[in-house]
């Protein structure tokens, strides 16, 4: 089993990893990647200032990244509808960069199993318990799934 110090040495925090990738992009003269990572770093810094913290935890960084992913997906949809291939290419590159920092999403079966466990732990029996179940599931899965998906599955399970 690894000690806390070994874990920190082996796996740097996500914010540090983004910074290191930013420096590497600067060295590689990858202008687009530098601009995007600089933007992400600025967003992270703004959130840290808002929360009055020096460094953000990984789950807080994931929340910022998920917001940016949602924004980019909206831009992609807009670019698709207006046939703007130049914007679409840039957005796809940015999404690929962003996805490299986000955790692998849970499959529907994994999520369903977690929801079943939480329903039994909470003792939920009807749709009135949806809020408690969703809150507990989101605490358990963190950034690995969308709240909308959790909500849909919880409602399906509590209806039957």
Which residues 6+ apart lie within 8 Å of 124 measured at CB?
118, 130, 132, 133, 158
H/E element holding 146?
A: none
Domain at 108-159, CATH from 1.10.10.410, 3.30.70.1290, 3.40.1030.10, 3.60.20.10:
1.10.10.410
- pLDDT tens-digit profile of 32-85? 999 999 999 999 999 999 999 988 888 889 889 989 999 999 999 998 899 888
pLDDT at 31: 94
**Is residue 93 very low, low, confident or very high in pLDDT (cuts 50, 70, 90)?**
very high
Reduced to 3 states (helix: H, G, I; strand: E, B; else coil), residue 106 is: coil
Residue 88 CB partners (closer than 8 Å, separation 6+): 76, 79, 80
Name which CATH class applies to 8-99: mainly alpha
Q: Which residue shows structure tokens 């029996």? A: 125
DSSP per-residue letters across 36-79: HHHHHHHHHHHHHHHTT-SS--HHHHHHHHHHHHHHHHHHHHHH
Per-domain residue ranges of the chain: 8-99, 108-159
Does 4 have pLDDT greater than 60? no
pLDDT tens sequence across 97-148 = 999 998 888 888 888 899 889 888 888 878 888 888 888 888 888 778 888 8
pTM of the complete model: 0.72
Asked whether residue 11 carries a pLDDT value surpassing 60, the answer given is no
Structure tokens at 4: 């806390």
């Amino acid at each position: 089993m690894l000690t806390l110090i070994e874990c920190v040495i082996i796996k740097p925090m996500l914010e540090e990893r983004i910074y290191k990738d930013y420096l590497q992009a600067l060295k590689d003269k990858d202008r687009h990647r530098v601009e995007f990572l600089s933007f992400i770093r600025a967003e992270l810094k703004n959130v840290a200032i808002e929360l009055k913290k020096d460094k953000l935890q990984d789950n807080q960084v994931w929340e910022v990244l998920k917001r940016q992913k949602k924004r980019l997906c909206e831009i992609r949809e807009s670019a698709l509808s207006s046939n703007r291939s130049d914007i679409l290419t840039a957005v796809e590159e940015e999404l690929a960069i962003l996805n490299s920092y986000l955790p692998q999403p849970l499959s529907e079966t994994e999520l369903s199993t977690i929801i079943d466990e939480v329903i039994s732990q909470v003792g939920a029996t009807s749709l009135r318990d949806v809020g408690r179940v969703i809150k507990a599931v989101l605490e358990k899965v963190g950034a690995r799934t969308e709240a909308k998906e959790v909500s849909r599955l919880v409602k399906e399970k509590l209806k039957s």
